[in-house]
Structure 1
Amino acid sequence: MENKVLTLDDGRIQAVAALLESLGSDRFPTAFRQLVRSICSFDSLIATRYPANQPPVSLFHDLDDVQAAITVQFYATGPYLLDPLYLACKGGSAPGAYRLLDLAPEAFYRSQYYRAFYRSIRIGDEVGLLIREGGSDWIIVSLARGVRQTRFTEQELMQLRQIFPILSAAVLRHWGGKPETAPAGLLEDRLESFGADILSPREAEIVRLILQGHSTPSAAAYLGISEGTVKVHRHHAYAKLGIASQAELFSLATRHFVG
């Protein structure tokens, strides 16, 4: 079936008008969600600023207290460094709408990061609106669906991309601005320094890829080495770290982030 081009019917025109009228007011999140919901349904919306080399800053979320404790508060202490949406921004992706499934390594849904976050709060699919705020600063608006919902379709993604310039401009006008200062590079340095005192540079590199959700084949392809070499380095790294599983690796890395 062919994808349908987004049309600005009377309902969407009114939604755009309401969004513009809400800029700078407490009505903005509601108006923003109304416009997005005219394109696709979602169960939760989270807006987060990612200043360059600083921890993320929560701008808005509609989660309950339990979900917020995991996906906002704990997430900002370091695990965000493994988020495929954040990594896409850091890696130079163009602003736009992306399904997490299209950005994540092929083994992401078997990774400990996925188990610690997505499964615990029962997220089944996610679309990120990646909005460049300037230089290396980004704002990401996450649209998530629960595990009982269908995944976002290509048509929905295409239509979000068509209206992205409006959504992006509105987000930047309402939520854009100079973030609060924080120790520059602190958590970025912690990810880079994880295991650096006992691991070889190659072992540390492979460990970081594992944390980001790469499997042995995808890590080998990314580094341009054989799968056997990856397995050897992974085995040696686990032995040096005193762990035996990916779950233990994730737990150790998390403690390193927040320590």
Structure 2
Amino acid sequence: MAALAETLGSDRFPAALRQILSQCCRFDSMIISRYEGALPPVSLYQDLDELQAAITVEFYASGPYLLDPLYQACRNGCSPGAYRLMELAPEAFYRSEYYRAFFRKISISDEIGVLVQDGAERWIIVSLARFSRRQRFEAADTARLNAAFPVICAAVRRQWGQAETPAAGFKQPDWEDRMQTFGSGVLSPREREVVQLVLQGHSTPSAAAYLGIAEGTVKVHRHHAYSKLGIASQAELFSLATRHLAGAG
């Protein structure tokens, strides 16, 4: 901990932070990003090679981040701390468009997010990942990280945190409000509910259970929604939704 304090404000801080975190749990890569409202994340640190960084950092920031369970947890009022990805992901995560379009491409087996709040709409996420074919993280890993979280949080905010007051005239976009307007004026209320559940990773059975309707009815609503939006696949839905959520559509 003393070494961490000594490196504050220097380019040696990420290495010191990595050493402290590695004493809590074993991981293969560390990515640190700052999130502000619905704006694309700013990469603060990553230890990937050039190809991995192009997919995991650059492509992620182009839109997939908006459907990342760690980011959504921050936007939805999750308490700061360390969480395994699957503690925050929806039930049908492995059938979600986020998984298909992004997560499975980055060749990791599991992820822990250390969520540090830096203001009402600002978060810094320290992502710890294990590469594919490695053992998944266990509850004991997040328990050790959470035991050290007060020190980790204070150090991360001291190194990369920003002033509490946003720039004059800056209005933070609201993820939930923008999500609620996706398809507005085009889709029926029920079609919009189905589309939002699909984007969040729900399967047809889980969406049907959530809405209290038949699975066949969910499929009909989804088909009608795709037709009205002029798309034919979940990949196209993902692209359209991320552009809307980012304010480009």
- TM-score, normalised to structure 1, is 0.83
Q: Deviations over 1:48-96 (max 9, x none)?
A: 1111343322211112222222222232232211010011111111111
Q: Deviations over 1:83-113 (max 9, x none)?
A: 1001111111111110111111111112221
Equivalent AA in structure 2 for residue 21 of structure 1:
E
Percentage of matched positions with identical amino acids: 64
Which stretch of structure 1 is more off in the superposition, 184-193 or 122-131?
184-193
Residue of structure 2 equivalent to 1:199: 187
> Is 1:103 equivalent to 2:88 in the alignment?
yes
1:161 partner SS: helix
Deviation of residue 250 (structure 1)?
2.2
1:54 partner SS: coil
Equivalent AA in structure 1 for residue 55 of structure 2:
I
Distance 1:244 1:42, change over 3 A: same
Residue of structure 1 equivalent to 2:72: 87
Deviation of residue 116 (structure 1)?
2.0
Residue of structure 2 equivalent to 1:32: 17
Q: How does 1:104-253 map to 2 (within 5 A)?
A: 104-178=89-163, 184-185=172-173, 191-223=179-211, 225-253=213-241
Q: Deviations over 1:175-203 (max 9, x none)?
A: 11149967742987765544334212331
What is the CA–CA distance in structure 2 between the aligned matches of 1:183 and 1:57, rounded to whole Å? 18
Deviation of residue 216 (structure 1)?
2.2
1:67 partner SS: helix
Deviation of residue 43 (structure 1)?
1.5
Distance 1:94 1:199, change over 3 A: same
- TM-score, normalised to structure 2, is 0.86
Residue of structure 2 equivalent to 1:12: none
Residue of structure 1 equivalent to 2:62: 77
What is the CA–CA distance in structure 2 between the aligned matches of 1:58 and 1:187, rounded to whole Å? 20
Where do 5+ consecutive residues of structure 1 fail to align?
1-15
User: 1:118–1:124: 8 Å Cα contact kept in structure 2?
Assistant: no
Residue of structure 1 equivalent to 2:47: 62
User: 2:38–2:174: 8 Å Cα contact kept in structure 1?
Assistant: yes
Equivalent AA in structure 1 for residue 153 of structure 2:
S
Which stretch of structure 1 is more off in the superposition, 201-210 or 159-168?
201-210
What is the CA–CA distance in structure 2 between the aligned matches of 1:192 and 1:178, rounded to whole Å? 30
User: 1:78–1:187: 8 Å Cα contact kept in structure 2?
Assistant: no
> Is 1:52 equivalent to 2:52 in the alignment?
no
CA RMSD of aligned residues (A): 2.5
Equivalent AA in structure 2 for residue 240 of structure 1:
K
